[in-house]
Amino acid sequence: MMQGQAVSSSMGNKLSAVGRGAIRIEEVVKIYDPEGAAVMAVDHCSLDIAAGEICMVVGPSGCGKTTLLNAIAGFHSISSGRIYLDGELLCGPGRPKAEPGADRIVVFQNGALFPWRTNLENVAFGPIVQGKLSRKEAYEKARGMMADAGLSGTEHNFPGEISSGVRRRVEIVRALMNDPKVLLFDEPYRALDSLTKSVMHEALLEIYYKNKVTIFFITHDLEEAIFLGHRLAIMTTRPCRPKKVLEVDIPHPRDYSVLTSPRFRELMDETLEAVHEEARKAFELGEKEG
């Protein structure tokens, strides 16, 4: 269990104890359609994410932050630059596209539980297809992990039968089944109402405290970003690159009382201006194109 005081005083030390899941993004450039329109989505973006850190990537919709996530996950290639995971090259010169793998699992914006599999079958999917566990062992482990996450009783339901909040939790458990180094969140709570969102945030932190993973979390919700993150990387709009990186010095574990604390408000004020400027730029860009 992580202790509050320890985080605030020596966050770096505490995090390095996890020892795996450090991401290094080095001068990454992504240009869409280089022969034709040559749209620069990511421009010489560098970012270091410590092992076990929750790094919140904040920026207006369409600013290019998802491109970065897709590059780490191995869905898209990059035009130049390098991305490392724990010192190993994921993609870089001569290898523009990373191989997707179970060490970096994405939790998708609209949820990607397979609707044709029950929740239990979804959670057990990873180890079975990788041939790591037999079907029976995988189901047993899945049952245990679902119980730990408070999801008992939903094992034999299909994802379409449970609320969207519960679906997100099942999806996170499905990822954790594979003992990943990194979880990549692509605005997963975007479609949820604010009340469900607040419950989801606490549940996510609870899961994080139990399973130490690095979290790369994309959002445009500033409150969400400050509440969850160790650090915020505020991105510029098209092309995307960190404009400001901010340490959130509110100790973990956190709960919802943090939202009303004076420090939280200060951090909000500090970031709001930077984010607002980018949001305005994105809006104007959108208007020109529209």
Partner 1 sequence: MNVSLVAENVGTSEAPASSDPVVALLKRTMPFQVVSDDMLKRIAALARRATYTRGETLYRVGDRADDIYIMVSGRVEHALGLGSGARTLNQVMSSGDVFGWAAFLKNVPTRLATTTCLEQAEVLMIKGDDLIKLFESEPAAGDVVMSRFATMITKDFTLPEELAQVLNIPRRGEKAGLSGLALTVYRAALWLKSPKPYLMMVGFAVFLSFWYFAVEVWQLPRFKEMPGLTAVVKEWLSEDPAYGLSIYTPEYYQHIWVSVRRVAIAFALATGLGVPLGLFLGWSRTFREYVFPIFETLRPIPILAWVPLAIIMFSGSETPVIFLTFLASFFATALNTMLGVESIDESYTRAAFCLGANRWQVFRHVIVPGAMPYIFTGLQISVGVAWFSLVAAEMVSGQFGLGYVINTSYTMVRYPTIIIGMVTLGAVGYATSAMVRIVGDYMMQWRVRELALGGQ
Q: Which positions lie near partner 1, rule CB under 8 A?
A: 1, 3-4, 73-75, 100-102, 104-106, 108-112, 114-118, 125-126, 129-130, 150, 152-154, 156-158, 160-163, 174-175, 178, 199, 202, 206, 253, 255-257
CB of 115 to partner 1, least distance (A): 6
CB 65 within 8 A of CB 30: no
CB of 181 to partner 1, least distance (A): 13
CB of 13 to partner 1, least distance (A): 17
Q: Which residue has the tokens 């003992």?
A: 179
Q: Which is nearer to partner 1, 184 or 246 (CB)?
A: 184
CB of 265 to partner 1, least distance (A): 17
Tokens of 184: 């990549």
CB of 157 to partner 1, least distance (A): 5
Q: Which is nearer to partner 1, 28 or 166 (CB)?
A: 166
CB of 52 to partner 1, least distance (A): 19
Q: Which is nearer to partner 1, 226 or 282 (CB)?
A: 226
CA distance 61 to 64: 8
CB of 277 to partner 1, least distance (A): 31
Torsion, Cα 209 211 217 221, to 10 degrees, reads -30
Q: Which is nearer to partner 1, 105 or 215 (CB)?
A: 105
CB 170 within 8 A of CB 151: yes
CB 225 within 8 A of CB 268: no
CA distance 284 to 105: 34
CA distance 271 to 274: 5
Q: Which is nearer to partner 1, 120 or 282 (CB)?
A: 120
Q: Reduced to 3 states, what is the DSSP secondary structure of residue 54? A: strand
Q: Which is nearer to partner 1, 60 or 127 (CB)?
A: 127
Q: Which is nearer to partner 1, 92 or 253 (CB)?
A: 253
CB 240 within 8 A of CB 43: yes
Measured from the Cβ of residue 74, the count of other Cβ atoms closer than 10 Å reads: 17
Q: Reduced to 3 states, what is the DSSP secondary structure of residue 205? A: helix
Torsion, Cα 123 129 132 138, to 10 degrees, reads 30
User: Angle CA(148)–CA(154)–CA(160) in degrees, nearest 5?
Assistant: 130
